[in-house]
């Protein structure tokens, strides 16, 4: 019988790519999510019955244990960028990660891959970064041979980075940025999936791997590259941190006053703390080179999914070509 992997958060941005790759490797894939009915799109990743979404709440021991019963490996992709309801940073990224590892050890699971983030630091001012580090510690306490992946900002068809800012270019002549000079090292989502699959298959040793693409650029430079791809001219407006701090504070107050009916997906004070620090791979860290993976460039991927934000969408190049012929 083929081996079984449980992927917590397997229908999310990163998880779905890992699920697809493991299905192609012949593994049975159990996608553990809060709303299985919204994750049915993963089933065609494999043969009939090979990829199955199952109900799981990472805050509950019994739910997590049931989802991994009989599994040979587990992957934890669960994380939050913004606290909503009971899904708080500590609950999900610290307690949830530790719970998966603790129950995996009790179940006798031999391999675990945990998705963290560059900037994870137990002493960080950001609660997001601090709980990421605490989650890593919890994983290693129970599964010392686990593979921990720390990607920089991840891009790909379903991302909430380039898609979000590209959508903003439709509504005005300005593109506001906080932390315009902060450096990032964007990594393609399928490259992160390749690394995770190596961990599941036992082709890579455990440890912490920092994953970044081949290019390090400032936030401003990344947005300019995006604008070039979507054929739009916008004024990139750098917002000073002191102004952003006032904005984030007001938005967080609105979230609290509305009892989270306004979720504040715009800018939080915690996100602002992260934007003050570069998000790049450290010189001494294990990375793609140690895994034999050559990461994809932005130039090779962005046009494949950002075309829909061009003035004429998929017909933009045709119209430009026709205009050049007329002139």
pLDDT averaged per 10 residues in sequence order, the chain, 327 residues? 94 98 98 96 96 97 97 97 92 97 97 97 96 98 98 97 97 95 98 98 96 98 98 97 97 94 94 96 95 98 97 71 56
Check residue 53 and give its pLDDT: 98
Coil, helix or strand at residue 73: strand
Residue 312 lies in a domain: no
| Cβ–Cβ under 8 Å, residues 31 and 67 | no
Residue 219 lies in a domain: no
Check residue 307 and give its pLDDT: 96
CATH number at residue 100: 3.40.50.720
Domain count, the chain: 1
Residue 117 lies in a domain: yes
Spell out the long-range contacts of 118-122 with Cβ–Cβ below 8 A and sequence spacing 24 or more: 118/150, 118/151, 118/152, 118/185, 118/210, 118/211, 118/212, 118/279, 118/280, 118/281, 119/150, 119/274, 119/277, 119/279, 120/150
Coil, helix or strand at residue 289: helix
Q: Give the span between the Cα atoms of 166 and 156, in whole angstroms.
A: 13
Q: Give the span between the Cα atoms of 217 and 280, in whole angstroms.
A: 9
Q: Give the span between the Cα atoms of 41 and 212, in whole angstroms.
A: 28
Strand partners, 207: 147
Residue 220 lies in a domain: no
Range of the domain at 129: 4-156+186-213+279-295
Residue 261 lies in a domain: no
- Tokens encoding 190: 């399928």
């Amino acid at each position: 019988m083929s081996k079984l992997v449980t992927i917590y958060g397997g229908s999310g941005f990163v998880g779905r790519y890992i699920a697809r790759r493991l299905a192609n490797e012949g593994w049975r894939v159990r996608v553990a999510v809060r709303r299985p009915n919204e994750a049915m799109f993963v089933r065609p990743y494999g043969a009939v019955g090979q990829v199955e979404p199952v109900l799981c709440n990472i805050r509950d021991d019994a739910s997590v244990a049931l989802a991994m019963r009989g599994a040979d490996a587990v992957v934890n992709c669960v994380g939050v960028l913004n606290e909503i309801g009971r899904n708080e940073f500590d609950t999900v990224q610290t307690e949830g990660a530790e719970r998966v590892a603790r129950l995996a050890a009790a179940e006798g699971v031999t391999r675990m891959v945990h998705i963290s983030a560059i900037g994870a630091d137990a002493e960080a001012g950001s609660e997001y970064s601090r709980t990421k580090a605490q989650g890593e510690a919890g994983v290693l306490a129970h599964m010392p041979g686990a593979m921990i992946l720390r990607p920089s900002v991840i891009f790909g068809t379903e991302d909430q980075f380039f898609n979000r800012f590209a959508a903003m270019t439709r509504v005005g002549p300005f593109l506001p940025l906080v932390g315009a000079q902060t450096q990032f090292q964007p990594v393609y989502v399928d490259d992160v999936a390749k690394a995770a699959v190596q961990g599941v298959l036992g082709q890579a040793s455990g440890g912490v791997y920092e994953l970044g693409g081949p290019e390090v650029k400032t936030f401003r430079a990344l947005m300019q590259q995006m604008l070039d791809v979507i054929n739009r001219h916008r004024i990139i407006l750098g917002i000073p941190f002191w102004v952003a701090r006032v904005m984030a504070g007001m938005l967080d107050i609105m979230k609290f006053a509305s009892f989270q009916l306004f979720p504040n997906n715009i800018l939080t004070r915690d996100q602002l703390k992260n934007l003050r620090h570069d998000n790049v791979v450290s010189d001494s860290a294990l990375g793609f080179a140690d895994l034999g993976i050559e990461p994809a460039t932005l130039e090779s991927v962005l046009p494949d999914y950002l075309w829909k934000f061009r003035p004429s969408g998929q017909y933009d190049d045709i119209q430009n070509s026709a205009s050049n012929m007329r002139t």
